[in-house]
């Protein structure tokens, strides 16, 4: 096996002692530790425990079977019972394929690690884990939005099963309706009724909103009766008092598709194409961004997650755990080089990796909230 010449530089070398990629690779190292280390913005995955997750082994995809409904009929005395004459129930399938290997990595130079005044390796590993968790949630939430726009795979004549649901938040052409607590509460009750009407179990119903939507609901608890008044004070102070609406447990995340972005959309000019929400400023490149471009969203992907333009009106998700499935060939894990590789490069490569794929399963269990138009985004 050929090795890189020892005189050649290592490409993309991570120098954590350098300030904003400056020339001094030890600028951030101190003689004494003073104060606490400020950690970057951290997001935990929430989607993994809210949907159907399966482990994929010895194959590239996993098959899920749909069984439609059947009918009841009266027996005629003397006739043999050999199954319904219509051959029900109908059966269909859905296949979820594993996407390519998803990785996040960093090279840790051994001397930098020796000189650092904090636990460098564990901190880098933690940030790699956050990057994988963020991508994990984003793919699953986009798959659920896709399901909300689809008809059921069981579509036999006279045995068509219920499909997905799109519910408008508010009644105007303003995207700012997405933040109206009154409009959101109405949308929740409409979603609960739709799920009931489509025969979706009440067990495991959840909603995922952006932080600003969540806090808009929480701020109005004194008027919308979402929380028992006996605990209202504690709920408002903790910021965690909003538990459910119409039996739907509520989560907040910046990883849901939201007007073509992930969880944030700002604009204050008052037009029909902006949200009427001012940016807090200084958001950083990892927060203040729209969805990735088409090339980034399709490279290495083997399932249909949609592009940014296909979420231009989307502003929230309500679903039941049967809404989507995720197959994992390799669960989230961290690998670190050792032995000869570490000696040759005088450092280690830390790699986080994940092999998964996600897609909608039962469209009837998917509800997409939209605003700013009379109808939601089209199916893709």
pLDDT at 296: 66
pLDDT at 21: 80
**Token pair of 251, please?**
């989560």
Place 37 in a pLDDT band, splitting at 50, 70 and 90.
very low
pLDDT tens sequence across 174-194 = 999 999 999 999 999 999 999
Query: At a CB cut-off of 8 Å and minimum separation 6, what does 48 contact?
Result: 136, 137, 140, 326
**What's the pLDDT score for residue 61?**
92
pLDDT band at 229 (very low <50, low <70, confident <90, very high): very low
Of residues 4 and 153, more confidently modeled: 153
pLDDT at 40 over 60: no
Please give the structure tokens belonging to residue 220. Answer: 């109005």
DSSP 274: S
Q: Which of 85-89, 227-231, 295-299 has the lowest mean pLDDT?
A: 227-231
Residue 105 CB neighbour total at 10 angstroms? 16
**The pTM is what?**
0.86
Q: How far is CA 267 from CA 168, 280, 354, in A?
A: 20, 11, 36
Work out the average pLDDT over 59-72: 86
At 288 the pLDDT is 55
Residue closest to 214 by CA, chosen among 369, 52, 375: 369
**Residues 164, 170, 174, 178, CA torsion sign:** negative
pLDDT in tens, 261-296: 998 888 877 666 678 888 888 887 776 556 766 666
- Split at pLDDT 50, 70, 90, the class of 6 is low
Residues 6+ apart with CB under 8 A from 216: 179, 180, 181, 184
Strand partners, 277: 267
The reported pLDDT for the residue numbered 285 is 75
Residue 67 has what pLDDT?
84
225: pLDDT strictly greater than 70: no
If one compares 236 and 364, the residue with the highest pLDDT of the two is: 364
pLDDT of residue 3: 53
Q: How far, in Å, CA of 165 to CA of 195, rounded?
A: 9
Distance between CA atoms of 365 and 318, rounded to whole angstroms? Answer: 8
* 140 pLDDT higher than 90: yes
Asked if omega into 89 is within 30° of 0 (cis), the reply is yes
């Amino acid at each position: 096996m050929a090795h890189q010449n020892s005189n050649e530089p290592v490409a993309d070398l991570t120098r954590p002692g350098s300030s904003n990629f400056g020339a001094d690779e030890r600028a951030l190292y101190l003689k004494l530790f003073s104060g606490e280390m400020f950690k970057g913005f951290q997001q935990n995955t929430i989607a993994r425990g809210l949907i159907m997750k399966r482990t994929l082994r010895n194959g590239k995809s996993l098959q899920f079977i749909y069984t439609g409904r059947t009918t009841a009929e009266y027996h005629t005395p003397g006739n043999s019972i050999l199954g319904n004459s219509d051959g029900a129930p109908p059966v269909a399938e859905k296949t979820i394929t594993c996407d390519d290997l998803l990785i996040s990595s960093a090279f840790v130079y051994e001397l930098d690690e020796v000189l650092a005044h904090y636990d460098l390796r564990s901190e880098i590993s933690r940030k790699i884990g956050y990057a994988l968790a963020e991508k994990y949630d984003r793919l699953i939430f986009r798959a659920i939005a896709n399901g909300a726009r689809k008809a059921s795979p069981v579509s036999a004549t006279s045995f068509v099963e219920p499909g997905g649901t799109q519910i408008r938040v508010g009644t105007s052409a303003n995207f700012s309706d997405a933040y109206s607590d009154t409009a959101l509460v109405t949308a929740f009750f409409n979603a609960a009724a739709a799920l009931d009407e489509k025969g979706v179990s009440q067990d495991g119903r959840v909603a995922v909103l952006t932080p600003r939507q969540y806090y808009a609901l929480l701020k109005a608890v004194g008027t919308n009766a979402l929380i028992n008044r006996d605990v209202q004070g504690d709920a408002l102070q903790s910021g965690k008092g909003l538990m459910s609406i119409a039996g739907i447990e509520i989560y907040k995340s910046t990883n849901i598709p939201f007007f073509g972005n992930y969880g944030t959309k700002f604009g204050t000019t008052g037009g029909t194409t902006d949200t009427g929400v001012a940016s807090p400023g200084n958001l950083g490149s990892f927060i203040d961004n729209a969805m990735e471009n088409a090339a980034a969203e399709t490279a290495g992907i083997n399932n249909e997650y949609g592009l940014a333009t296909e979420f231009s009106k989307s502003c929230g998700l309500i679903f039941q755990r049967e809404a989507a499935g995720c197959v994992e060939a390799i669960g989230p894990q961290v690998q670190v080089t050792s032995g000869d590789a570490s000696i040759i490069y005088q450092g280690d490569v830390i790699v986080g990796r994940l092999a998964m794929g996600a897609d909608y399963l039962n469209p009837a269990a998917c509800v997409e909230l939209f605003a700013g138009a009379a109808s939601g985004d089209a199916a893709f």
